[in-house]
Structure formats: C-alpha cells, structure tokens
Structure 1
C-alpha cells in the first residue's frame, strides 16, 4: 500500500484515485473528470457490457499478465459494488460519517472461490449488486454522505461513485484483454 501523511500530519492515508492511477488512468484510460452522475450512468451499462463480453465464455479464460480469469473480474466488480453500497447505505441510515473497513480483494477472491463461479452466476450477482449500488449512490449523493475508509480516509459519495466507476471500467478492460489473448491462443 502506497501512503503519504495526511495534510494535518495524522495517520497515513492510502493514495487512491487519480493521485495513484493518473488522469486519465495509465492502465485503462479512465477520465476522472466524470461527474458522479456520469459514473452512475456508466455503471448502469456495466451488466450488459459484461454479459456481452462473457457470451460463450467457459470461465476458464486467462491472461498470463493478470491475476484472475474473466469471470473472477466480474465477481470482484460485483463484490466491490456490494461492499460500497453497504457502506453508503449505513451512512444514509445513520446520518453521520460512517467508518468502513477495507478488504483484501485477493483474499476475498480466494474465500469466495471466484475461479469456480460460473459466468452466468457472476453476471446474476453483478446485476443485483449494480442495482443496489446505483440506488445507494444516488441517495448518498443527494444527502452528501461521507464515509471514513480505513485506508483511504474520507470518501464522499461523489468519490465513491468515481472510484467504483474506475474500478469497473478498469476491469472491463482486463476482461477484454483476457478474451483477446484467449482468442489469439486458439
């Protein structure tokens, strides 16, 4: 984890967003200038985009430079959206800054056995997570919800919208790379 001290000299906060990935993101081209509502609209297209990409996939497709297979990235995006929707939902219900824990995506992938999940199941999960996330983000934007992430520090609803859109956009690119590699290897 790359960290720098906070402005007030407090506990280090994990670098994130454009500060870490660049603007646009060096790995996927994501532009951090998206408004939160544009990020929500993008996430609304996500289940259909992944459904299109996974059409005919077995779930075993891999790329030697990437940690997971195509289906695993869909599972990760679904779990990430679900986790952030949960935090935003707590913020909405409690009406105050809510602490949210971070998580290790590799440990979660191992615990959930992403490599064994069928593409159809991953897509089903993503559709539900994207719906819950959209509802939570829109309500959180309206009420200016603020979360206190264990590693990233203060995360306003608009930060969550942009960060989650980047994560999803980046992993769409990963799945595209996996499938292109798989097609060229046949």
Structure 2
C-alpha cells in the first residue's frame, strides 16, 4: 500500500500557518466564497498591472493558476457525478502554467477566466456536496466533496494572500 500524501490542515496547519485560512469553514461557505472569487481577486489586485511579483509567479499568473485549478477540480468532480469516474490524478501546476503561457495572459483576462471557472466550480461542487460525491486521488487518497471544497477554497484564498503580499511590497 502506498503512503497517502498529507494535504489540507495536516499539511498547512489549522489555521494555515501562512495565510490564516481556517479549515473549519463549512463546505457550503467554502463554495460560496469561491463563487465570489473574481470579486475577492479584483479587490486584492487593486491597481496592480499583474506583472508584479515576489519571487515565484506574478499576480496575473497566480490568478490564472486559481482559474485552472478550479477548472481541473470541477472537471474531476463532474466526471464522478456524470460518469462514475472517481479516479483523480495529480498535476504539476508549474508545467501547466508553462503550457498555458500564464506569463502572457493579461491580468484582466485572467480575472475574467478565473471568475467563470469559479462559477462553474461552485455549481458542480454545490451539487456534489448534496450528492455525497467521493473521489480517489492517486496521491491524497479519499477526497470527499467537502474535502475538495475546502482544499480548493484554501488554494484560492492562499493565492490571494500571495497577491496581497506582492501588492504590499509594490507600494
């Protein structure tokens, strides 16, 4: 039997040691927060151009990543709902960012795209919570809909924290 990868609160702490995300958030509140991701992101980016960075990704690249992560998970959850396919593979977000050309996606386009992804994700996860969907992740093991809701909400919340740090350093 292979070892299950730590994820969520066991990996990041409760609350998250960096961004302060509270893992006690209800799955329904996590879905509601993600549904409003575009609004949260627009507030966080303020008057930034999207090119600002502190080391890793730029502001626009973080926004694009959140959109892609939400799309990835909504597709996997929808596959379980519509076809019964519950096996989920991991992905390399840096490789996806390179393949999608995050560095060339303008911030306003990234916000628009992530906003659409957040809406679809919220629709899918809301239904999945009602249906009790469970996935089997190749590295993380059992991922219930409520786990996916909290994990994905943390990802989005954490990257807005990254963006706020970048904004503070740019002042």
The normalised TM-score by structure 2 is 0.96
Paired residues for 1:47-58 under 5 Å: 47-58=38-49
Which deviations, in whole Å up to 9, do the C-alpha atoms of 1:118-140 show, x marking residues without a partner? 01110111111001100110110
Which deviations, in whole Å up to 9, do the C-alpha atoms of 1:49-75 show, x marking residues without a partner? 1122334322210113xx101111101
- Kindly indicate whether residue 79 of structure 2 is the aligned counterpart of residue 90 of structure 1: yes
Deviation of the 1:97 alpha carbon? 5.6
CA distance in 2, matches of 1:153, 1:62: 34
Deviation of the 1:44 alpha carbon? 2.1
Unaligned runs of 5+ in 2: none
CA distance in 2, matches of 1:132, 1:39: 14
Which deviations, in whole Å up to 9, do the C-alpha atoms of 1:74-93 show, x marking residues without a partner? 01110000000001101111
Report the equivalent of 1:132.
120
CA distance in 1, matches of 2:47, 2:158: 22
CA distance in 2, matches of 1:112, 1:78: 12
Bigger relative CO (Cα 8 Å, ≥ 6 apart): 2
Q: Secondary structure at the match of 1:155?
A: strand
The normalised TM-score by structure 1 is 0.88
Paired residues for 1:24-103 under 5 Å: 24-64=15-55, 67-94=56-83, 96=84, 98-103=86-91
Which deviations, in whole Å up to 9, do the C-alpha atoms of 1:90-124 show, x marking residues without a partner? 11112x46101110011111111111110111011
* Cα pair 2:34 2:156 within 8 Å, conserved: yes
Q: Secondary structure at the match of 1:13?
A: coil
Question: Which consecutive segments of 4 or more residues in structure 1 shift more than 6 A?
Answer: none
Total equivalences in the alignment: 171
Report the equivalent of 2:3.
12
Larger radius of gyration: 1
Deviation of the 1:143 alpha carbon? 0.7
